[in-house]
Amino acid sequence: MRRMNPSALDLLQSVFGYPRFRGQQQAVVEHLCAGGDALVLMPTGGGKSLCYQIPALLRQGTGIVVSPLIALMQDQVDALREAGVAAAFLNSSLGAEAQREVERQLLAGELNLLYVAPERLLTGRFLSLLERTEVALFAIDEAHCVSQWGHDFRPEYRELAILHQRFPAVPRIALTATADPRTREEIVERLSLQQARQFVASFDRPNIGYRVGLRHNAKRQLGEFLEGHRGESGIVYCLSRRKVDDTAEWLAAAGIEALPYHAGLDAATRAKNQKRFLREDGVVMVATVAFGMGIDKPDVRFVAHLDLPRSIEGYYQETGRAGRDGLPAEAWMIYGLADVVTMSQMIAQSESADERKRVERQKLEALLAYAEATGCRRQRLLGAFGETYPEPCGHCDNCLAPPKTWDATVPAQKALSAVYRTGQRYGSGQVIDVLRGEETERVLSLDHHRLSTFGIGADLDEKQWRSVFRQLLAAGLLEADAEGYGTLRLTAASRAVLSGGTPVKLREDARPERGARRRRDSQLVVGGGSLGIEAYEQSMWDALRALRTQLAKQLGVPPYVVFHDATLLAMLRALPANEDELATISGVGEAKLKRYGRDFLAVINAPG
């Protein structure tokens, strides 16, 4: 699609159907159009793609997009074609014939955008092809793949500096959602982006609500949580494959469209489940962390964690898969003492002078601090990435219902001293028995009933003690052994508590509320879920979604390639009567208006 010098804003409206730029998009677009290099750091869902797609359309030649995820290219290219953009991809999934055709289009200057896998880009053949082509820009997506320290390390990414040497006049833009300043430095260095202007957005995801709770009965708690998300897409993360299978089975038996995903399933099953998650509305994926890299489904309404993830970054990345479309979404997590012991063990294991381990340790500690926080979660989360969020956010669980704290200095002293007296060789179960004065066989056989600490903690019940131990571990006042037996030991910080120098304040763990389920039900319109669809709107909403699914099936694309939830929701609220009104809705560009306008208007204006 070549036009007579349209402005960036014209393209945003006519091609993508959006009325205005978001955040720093416009500044990035202008910088690239003027020939500058850019490094763009924006959270997931921030709108990174438009930062290079629009300049590629505005500048002469083809925009070359390097993307590490073959599975994603297809969907991205489908979505662009739906919007009327001449886009294609080159990767190993194409047959020889199809590859030659794409190369022909490239040389003939027929493409606005070409997505290519890094290993393909770096071949001599492709580079010389590029030398005979007019290149509008190079976009390096998921640029954090250059980082050897990250989970997504891709060695070929390190070779991409060659683009700068071979094509010095072509502007380059590197993009990532990784907030870590260390990674940013690595990208600059590895990709020779020292001259690039940096655009760093806030990593806040304002549409995500954060909730963290203690695990009492995982299934019941998950069931109650999902009641607020009926018919919605979401991801439930578990630590182990077994738990994934078990949870998925249980949910399916409860009538929820739930599918498992983990590395232990064969490739065909994984691909099939992933496809259903992407292509159907309202599928819940129960998964290990093996799932998610490159899932850019925009309408994931919730991400649930049934175990603590392995680091604050992992948590941010995983929860970040919710709500890419900007509509309300929820990040929900439950965890227990056992998770904290495991974490503490991992921290102990990583106790080494080496820089990398020190960083890992900080990330683990940051996650524990986040989970146990009594203040605003958002402030904690962003704080872990060096960002200051000025005021409490007002819509995380701690802001909505500030947890009560209590002075636990004396119980903490008792707990630490019981750990010490039993020789720092036991787990919390045994130490709690000693504190509570339980004459169990083990206590008697170990002579623990003769200790001075035996029975000094009978005033708290077992649950309260578990809460105390969990929080002492999380606060680094106790640590678990590196060997993995769950043995507790004092730390350097424990002394100050034992001597009475440091007071200890702990949060009062909320008790699982009876009847909580009933109350929630009456607050929620059934099916209302996160998007707040009212009962009277439900049938229209269902009809719009059904039409979208039908069109998507015909085209063989995911439903969101036809229209996003945000666009359907805007239709539902505005009820456009004709094409002119439909065209004003965000997400309805010229090509889509022409293709789908009539069908959607027919549904909206159907009698009854």
DSSP states of 229-268: TTT-EEEEE-SSHHHHHHHHHHHHHTT--EEEE-TTS-HH
Q: Which of 15, 29, 31, 48 touches ligand ADP (CB under 6 A)?
A: 48
Restricting to residues 557-576, name those near ligand ADP by CB under 6 A: 564
| DSSP tag of 599 | H
Total residues belonging to the chain: 608
Question: For Zn ion, which is the closer residue by CB, 397 or 433?
Answer: 397
Point out which residues pair with 89 in neighbouring strands. Answer: 115
Query: Could you tell me which stretch among 42-50, 404-412, 419-427, 431-439 binds ligand ADP (CB under 6 A)?
Result: 42-50
Of the candidate residues 13, 21, 66, 114, the single one contacting ligand ADP (CB under 6 A): 21
Residues 579-608 that bind ligand ADP (CB under 6 A): 586
Least distance CB 559 / ligand ADP (angstroms): 13
Contact between 139 and ligand ADP per CB under 6 A: no
DSSP letters for 137-149: EEEE-SGGGG-TT
Residues 286-345 that bind ligand ADP (CB under 6 A): 296, 298, 324-325
Q: How far is CA 161 from CA 36, 138, 172, 460, 569, in A?
A: 16, 11, 10, 62, 43
Q: How far is the CB of 529 from ligand ADP (least distance, A)?
A: 19
- Shortest distance (Å) from residue 44 CB to ligand ADP: 4
**What residue 325 binds from ligand ADP, Zn ion, none (CB within 5 to 8 A, per partner kind)?**
ligand ADP
Is residue 93 within 8 Å of 70, Cβ to Cβ?
yes
Using N-to-C axis directions, what is the helix angle for 355-371 and 462-474, rounded to 10°? 140
Chosen residue from 45, 171, 260, 292 binding ligand ADP by CB under 6 A = 45
Q: Work out how close the CB of 25 gets to ligand ADP at its nearest, in angstroms, rounded to a whole number.
A: 6
Rounded distance, CA 311 to CA 362, Å?
9
Dist CA 311 CA 344 (whole Å):
12
Q: How far is the CB of 383 from Zn ion (least distance, A)?
A: 12
Which runs of consecutive H residues, i.e. helices, occur in 15-157?
25-33, 48-58, 70-82, 96-107, 118-121, 124-131
Contacts of 277 by beta carbon, 8 Å cutoff, 6+ apart: 233, 259, 261, 283, 285, 295, 297
When CB distances are held under 5 to 8 angstroms depending on the partner's kind, the choice from Zn ion, ligand ADP, none that residue 564 binds is ligand ADP
Beta bridge partners of 90: 116
Smallest separation (angstroms) from ligand ADP to the CB of 21:
5
Please give the helix or strand (H or E) that residue 604 lies within, else none. Answer: helix 590-604
Q: Which is nearer to ligand ADP, 25 or 273 (CB)?
A: 25
Give the nearest distance from C-beta 324 to ligand ADP in angstroms: 5
Token readout for 143 is 């640029």
| Binding residues with Zn ion: total (CB under 5 A) | 6
For Zn ion, the closer of residues 155 and 206 by Cβ is 206
Closest distance to ligand ADP from the beta carbon of 114 (Å): 18
Number of residues engaging ligand ADP in binding (CB under 6 A): 18
Site for Zn ion in 352-381 (CB under 5 A): 376, 378
Query: Residue 246: what are its φ and ψ, rounded to 5°?
Result: -60, -45
Least spacing, CB of residue 159 vs ligand ADP, in Å: 23
Exactly one of 8, 38, 39, 42 binds ligand ADP (CB under 6 A); that residue is 42
In the complex, the smallest distance separating the C-beta of residue 20 from ligand ADP, rounded to whole angstroms, is 6
Q: How far is the CB of 564 from ligand ADP (least distance, A)?
A: 5
Distance CA 95, CA 542 (A): 39
Stretch that binds Zn ion, among 144-152, 214-222, 388-396, 428-436 (CB under 5 A): 388-396
3-class DSSP string for 432-450: HHHHHCCCCHHHHHCCHHH
Question: Which residues from 344-403 bind ligand ADP, rule CB under 6 A?
Answer: none
DSSP state of 92: T
- In the complex with ligand ADP, the residue whose CB is nearer, 529 or 587, is 587
Pick 375 or 437: Cβ nearer Zn ion: 375
- State yes or no: residue 44 binds ligand ADP (CB under 6 A): yes
Distance spanning both ends of the chain, measured CA to CA: 40
* C-beta separation of 89 from 116 below 8 A: yes
Calpha distance 324→46 (Å, rounded): 8
Q: Report the distance separating Cα 460 and Cα 406, nearest Å.
A: 13
Piece in contact with ligand ADP (CB under 6 A), picked from 40-48, 63-71, 156-164, 223-231: 40-48
Residues that bind ligand ADP in the complex, under the rule CB under 6 A: 18, 21-22, 25, 42, 44-50, 296, 298, 324-325, 564, 586
Residues that bind Zn ion in the complex, under the rule CB under 5 A: 376, 378, 392-393, 396, 399
